[in-house]
Amino acid sequence: MNVTELFYMTGRRAVDIAAAVEGAVSDGRLRPGEHLPTVRRVASELEVSPATVAAAYRELGRRGLAVGSGRSGTSIAPRPPLHAGVTARPRPGLRDLAQGQPDPQLLPDWSRALAALPRQSALYGSPMVDADLADLARERLRADGLDASHLTVVGGAVDGIERVLEAHLRPGDSVAVEDPVYPPILDLLRAMSLRAQAVRVDARGMLADDLERALHRGARAVVMTPRSQNPFGSALDDLRRTELRRVLARHPDLLVVEDDHAEAVGGGAVVGVAIPGSPAWAVVRSVSKTLGPDLRLAIVCGDQGTVARVEGRLAVGPGWVSHLLQRLVLSLWSRPGLDLLLAHAADTYRQRREGLIDALERRGIAAQGATGYNVWVPVEAEAPVLDSLADAGYAALPGERFRIATGPGVRITCAGLDPSEAGAVADAVAAAGRPAGARLA
C-alpha cells in the first residue's frame, strides 16, 4: 500500500500528515507498534519536503502517538492515547492469566452498600470530598504512617498520577520510573510529552543507586510502587526505604509519587518514601484492587500545595468525583468484617503467588513475585514461552509491554490461579526451553 492510500491525505502540511496518521490509527489501518514509512519515502510520495514530514512525526511523538527508535525509525506507540476500538483480549478458549484482574470471589459484595446509597443526587456547590469519606480515608492512611492532613479524591490511580504530575511538570521534563514498569505509566508519560528514565527494581523495590543516576540525568519526578509492583511484585522494606530517602535528601525539590494501587491486599506493609515535610509528594491509593475495578476512585494525600493544585485542576474540569461513588466506597469501607475479608484475600493471593513460584522453582526456573497478583518469569525469548502456554490453554503477557532496558520476561497473573493448577502452568513454561532465570545443573 502506498503512502497516499495509507494516510488518506487531505493536505500537505505537517499538521495534515499528523492528522492522517491519527486517522489511520483510529480506523485500524495502522496498528500499535507498527513502523511508519520513512521520512524520505513519505516526502517523496507526497511531494513535500523531508522537514515537513519530520515535523509531523515530531508532533506525533509529542502527543504520545508515535515513538522514535533511532535507526529503526518511528513507530506507532504500543498504547497510543487514542481510542481505536480495539481491546486486547486473550485468544478465545485460553485461560486468562494475562489481564491482571483481581479474583471477583475475593471482592466484597456491593448489594447492601448499593441499597444504602442516598436517594437524591448531590447538588452543585457540594464539597468536593465527602466529609465522612475523608475522615475514614485519613484514619486508614494514618494507620500506615502517612501524613493525611491534606487529601482529595480522584478518578482512579492513573488519573491521580496524571493530575499530580501535571501539577508540577511541563512537557519535556523527565520522570524516573521502575523498569519493568506498569505500561499505562509509560503511555501516560508519552501522552503528557514527558520522558521516562528507567530505574531497575529488585524484590525490594527501586534500586537506590539507579535512582540516583536517573536524578543526575535530570529527572524532576519519580513514580514508584511501594508494594505489589506490577509486573515484578516488588515490595519496599524499611531498609530500602531508608536507602531511597538518603537519595531523596540530596534532591529536595524532587516530586515523589507513590502508586499504592493494591493497598495491603497484595502483600507488603511499607509505604511513604517521601521524607516527612518534603515540599512535593503524593501517595495515590486506589480502591480498584480491594473493592472492585469498576470503582474508579482513588485517594490522593500529599503536601498542601500538591493537593491544592490537583483539586484546583479537578474543579475546572469534571468538578468532582461522583458523590454516589464516594458514598459507596464509604459504605464498603465501613462494612463490619471488611478487614477480615481483605486479610483473607491477601492470604489467598499469597498462597496462589507462592504456589506458582514454587512450582517454577521445582522445575529449575527462577521467578519474581514477592507481592501482588503477578509473577514475572525472566526468559531468553518471550514468544516461545507464550506459545507453549497457549498450547497448554493459558494466556499470559509478553514482557516487552513492561520493560524499558531490562531483559525479556513473561508476566503471568496468578490472582485467580488455584495452587493445584500451578504445576500445569510451570510445565508449559519449562516446555519452552531453558528460561533466562533457570539454574544450570
The answer to whether 17 and 52 are in contact (CB under 8 A) is yes
Mean pLDDT within 43-69: 86
- Domain identity same for 326 and 205: yes
- Tens of pLDDT, residue by residue over 280-338, are 999 999 999 999 999 999 999 999 999 999 999 999 999 999 999 999 999 999 999 99
Closest CA to 270 of 401, 434, 144: 144
Q: What would the grid cell of residue 40 be?
A: 524520505
- Tens of pLDDT, residue by residue over 339-375, are 999 999 999 999 999 999 999 999 999 999 999 999 9
**Domain final position from 302, 333, 364:** 333
- Domain identity same for 153 and 293: yes
- Domain identity same for 203 and 271: yes
Rounded to an integer, what distance in angstroms lies between the CA atom of residue 407 and that of residue 435?
A: 12
Domain range enclosing 363: 95-104+339-431
44 — pLDDT class (breaks 50, 70, 90): confident
| pLDDT score, position 438 | 57
- Tens of pLDDT, residue by residue over 75-128, are 888 777 765 444 456 678 899 999 989 999 999 999 999 999 998 999 999 999
| pLDDT score, position 87 | 47
The crossing angle, in degrees rounded to 10, of helices 422-431 and 382-391 is 130
* Residue 219 forms part of a structural domain: yes
| pLDDT score, position 18 | 86
Residues above pLDDT 90, as percent of the chain:
74
- Domain identity same for 315 and 343: no
Domain count, the chain: 3
- Domain identity same for 370 and 317: no
- Domain identity same for 250 and 148: yes
Contacts for 111 with CB less than 8 Å, ≥ 6 apart: none
Mean pLDDT within 419-430: 96
- Tens of pLDDT, residue by residue over 239-255, are 999 999 999 999 999 99
| Dihedral sign, Cα of residue 226, residue 227, residue 233, residue 239 | positive
Residue 441 above 60 pLDDT? no
What CATH number is associated with residue 356? 3.90.1150.10
* Residue 436 forms part of a structural domain: no
Residue 439 above 60 pLDDT? no
| pLDDT score, position 440 | 42
What CATH number is associated with residue 190? 3.40.640.10
Amino acid identity at 388? S
- Domain identity same for 324 and 346: no
Q: What is the gyration radius of the CA atoms in the chain, in angstroms?
A: 23
Write out the E strands in 270-426: 281-286, 298-302, 374-378, 394-395, 397-398, 409-413
* Residue 437 forms part of a structural domain: no
* Residue 89 forms part of a structural domain: no
| pLDDT score, position 86 | 42
- Domain identity same for 16 and 143: no
Closest CA to 95 of 355, 428, 383: 428
Q: State the chain's mean pLDDT as an integer.
A: 91
| pLDDT score, position 85 | 45
Q: What share of the chain is helix, strand, coil (3-state, %, to 5)?
A: 40, 15, 45
